[in-house]
Chain A
């Protein structure tokens, strides 16, 4: 279990203009684990998550300091290839937004961008990715129909398959199930647990039960700070910090 962390971050600060949204975050992520980032709205957890594949870059008046490394490489270095970074660190959002094409074309989108044209390679990637995203049996006979015809839960799994197709090392998920019903959410949680042997998974969630059920580590954010990072089992049975206890037992937030 003492594998070297795949992502490290040290003293990460982020300012929106004068507002300091992140106040010095030190946080590492281990391979083959699911880390849940929890905390009240405005605590900085989504802002932090988006830093990990530089999704905040285009926000005006933003200032980021500190050190974030993927495989020990500074991802904010001037020579960092952002396309390559986002290939390594995939992202899944709250609202599943498939592109308005077929399921097949959605999944291979990233591969085609990378110039892959070999039909056999693409076919294989579609099957592998949809299977890994636990949506293959529902879609294998309708691969060439529009992804927009799918249900919300299926769309989200197709969006996850789209991320998996480019073989990232890390998957970021920003409240991936908050727009879904409990059954679809449960399928996605199970899928994440099945996927973690091959990926590093970092998930922002407002659903504390989801963090408890699905994650290995829980990181609790409050007011731009990381209050506690702990093994999930410890976090939900005996957290180290009083603020953590108060938050998860519903005393505030």
Chain B
């Protein structure tokens, strides 16, 4: 009977990985659309979020059925709990991509600040690499790598801090950039949150491997 269970678990992993790829793409495209002022791409991100949400519902249903029918214990149980928790984190990441896309649509026509946009693009690059790395670490159940990935969140937080300061300065000097800079702040906040969710997933990978629930980044050290 192990075979059936293994097959179902494997299917669940495939669903999770697919969802991860969709979310990664959504985050990447949302920032790309924002920086390139690409309204069409932003709309596409918003439309595709339905698919991500469906993935999460599908993963929940499958997990629920496996728990009810196969009654897994120990590592098997941790595996399913991890997928359920991590898929909620992925789903929230997808929602943040949608928020970024909505900012893109809103911001059109406002006066913009190229340097801040470049800083956001750089920040997005770090986040994107974190998302890709965490999905890979998840597939390989690599808890050591997960711990390392979580450390990159510090860079994301620092990038956010710089963008925040830059936006405040810009708004003070050029009040006509207030609307645009507010959106920059929002977008960088969303990206910062995506980084936090990556950290959450890192924690789930560690849990999966070691049965230890840990906090990889303590947020109270952040200045914001």
Contacts and interface: CB of A to CB of B under 8 A. Distances in A.
Co-complex (A, B): yes
A153 to B, nearest CB: 14
B1 A236 contact: no
Interface string A168-199: 00000000000000000010011001000000
Contacts of B4: 190, 193, 213
A217 B78 CA distance: 28
B64 A212 contact: no
Interface residues of B, number: 11
A225 interface: no
A209 B2 contact: no
Dominant secondary structure of chain A at its interface with chain B: helix
A190 B71 contact: no
Interface string B43-85: 0000000000000000000001100111100000000000000
A220 to B, nearest CB: 15
Output the residue of B64, B65, B68, B70 with the most chain A CB within 10 A. B68
Interface band, chain A: 10 to 19
Contact of B69 (A186, A189, A193, A236): A236
B2 A212 contact: no
Interface string A235-252: 011000000000000000
B1 A212 contact: no
Given A209-B71, A212-B71, A193 B65 contact: no
Interface in B1-53: 1-5
Contacts of B71: 209, 212-213
A186 B1 CA distance: 5
B70 A212 contact: yes
A209 B3 CA distance: 16
B203 to A, nearest CB: 29
A213 B69 contact: yes
A237 B65 contact: yes
Nearest to B64: A237
Nearest to B67: A237
Contact of A214 (B1, B2, B65, B68): B1
B64 A186 contact: no
B1 A190 contact: yes
A214 B69 CA distance: 9
A111 B35 CA distance: 78
Contacts of A190: 1-4
Interface of A: 186, 189-190, 193, 209, 212-214, 232-233, 236-237
7 contacts: A190-B2, A190-B3, A193-B4, A212-B69, A212-B71, A213-B1, A214-B1
Q: What 5 A-B pairs come out closest when comparing CB atoms?
A: A212-B69, A236-B68, A189-B1, A186-B1, A237-B68
